[in-house]
Amino acid sequence: MSGLNDTHNPDRKSWVESANNPETDFPIQNLPYGVFSQDGGPKRVGIAIGDQILDLTALEEAGRLSPAEGKKVFSDGVLNPFMALPQNNWSETRSRIADLLDAKAGDRQLPLVAQTAVDMHLPIFVRSFTDFYASKEHATNVGSMFRDPDNALMPNWLHIPIGYNGRASTVVVSGTPIHRPSGQLKGPNDDVPYFGPCQKLDIELELGAIVGTSNPMGQPLTAAAAYENIFGYVLLNDWSARDIQVWEYQPLGPFQSKAFGSTISPWVVTREALEKFRVPAPERVKPLLPYLQEETPNNFDIHLEVSLTPPSGKPKTISRTNYKYMYYSSALQLVHHASSGCAMETGDLLGSGTISGPTPDSFGSLLELSWNGKEPLQIDGESRSFLEDGDSVDITGWCSGDYRIGFGNCEGTVLPAVTFGE
């Protein structure tokens, strides 16, 4: 793979000892970006290395790191100014940071802070959020559940990455609690709808792709350019109100049922860090149109797990799956998004859509795992078809090979619905 360089060297070690633990998410081959603060202070940009954070804002202020000549890009408390730089600047900065943290480095007087001593924040200003529906297994399961199992996929699904524009304002960082949404509901035996708290609150296990390089309005992208324009990836839980959605989604798709909260992990794993774990997409059922043809493998072999913890119980892993099953890669999602001439901006977030695998234990939503409540899960003595107040959901993910590239945690806890007047 032409994208491999010395930052991917599996023999490379760091003088930060915790980064050499084979179980860490953050070895020197990873170097994901995040935003943190200490003791209520200002937000700062950092790199995760082992159980520490390297303060890039401090390095830039001291003149020891200069991604952009003549201007500061790590001083605003978000990654957008850095992501807007030319792509070679991303790679050069990654190489420079790796050299500073390398076991052979002579100067080890760097501004490090323990991850346990900081608060993590949303790493990017989310310019816009688009959610896709790109897992063939997930789309087949949902189609089988609510339509005809023999014709589970809609006629367009095998030809086009299906998506809709969501709410950027309610994308939050891991650890932010999520209130149960309220909305219009109509049961099968109700004559008219009513307004009340969601009764079928669900998760959606996703991977989020973050656009770094923008494309001008009117200028579409090739698959190769789209892949390169993606700065990095985060874990994503796109919380979903299934009962609100089933009433509102026709004819224009999800609205309030998907607008109340989307949780992302705090560390942005760069595209370059994932280069060694690229894999081809699944075999196509029908040929895609020429503009959606990929000449390189643009999926990733990322193991993903979801655990659920009841309020008074212990966590239980409820799903194990892999991003490699996705029918449409993030690059193809970006290609299609820009194909009309849509301008994609630095900080745009693309949700993969629910990632489900081929077996029941690899489904990426409770809707599938419980088959819409017909087969409830047993968790520490409690039954779950959908989420209850006080439940916590945690998504983790990592690539595994010569070294481990992890994403950290993507966690959220369900709070009770807020009614009008409270």
pLDDT digits (tens, 9 = 90+) for 142-168: 999 998 898 999 999 999 999 999 999
Question: Tell me, what's the pLDDT at 147?
Answer: 87
Q: How far apart are CA 236 and CA 355, in angstroms?
A: 10
Question: Tell me, what's the pLDDT at 421?
Answer: 52
Q: Could you tell me the pLDDT band of residue 419, with boundaries at 50, 70 and 90?
A: confident
Q: How far apart are CA 250 and CA 146, in angstroms?
A: 14
Active site residues: 138
Arithmetic mean of pLDDT over the chain: 96
Q: How far apart are CA 47 and CA 118, in angstroms?
A: 13
Helix H or strand E encompassing 130: strand 129-132
Strand partners, 196: 183
Question: Tell me, what's the pLDDT at 270?
Answer: 98
Among 203, 199, 167, 202, smallest CA distance to 183 is for 199
Domains of the chain: 6-121 (2.30.30.230), 129-415 (3.90.850.10)
Would the pLDDT of 313 be above 90? no
- For the entire predicted model, the pTM comes to 0.97
The contacts of residue 269 (CB under 8 Å, 6+ apart) are: 30, 32, 232, 233, 234, 405, 406, 407
Q: How is residue 229 written in tokens?
A: 């324009």
Quote the radius of gyration of the chain (alpha carbons, Å): 21
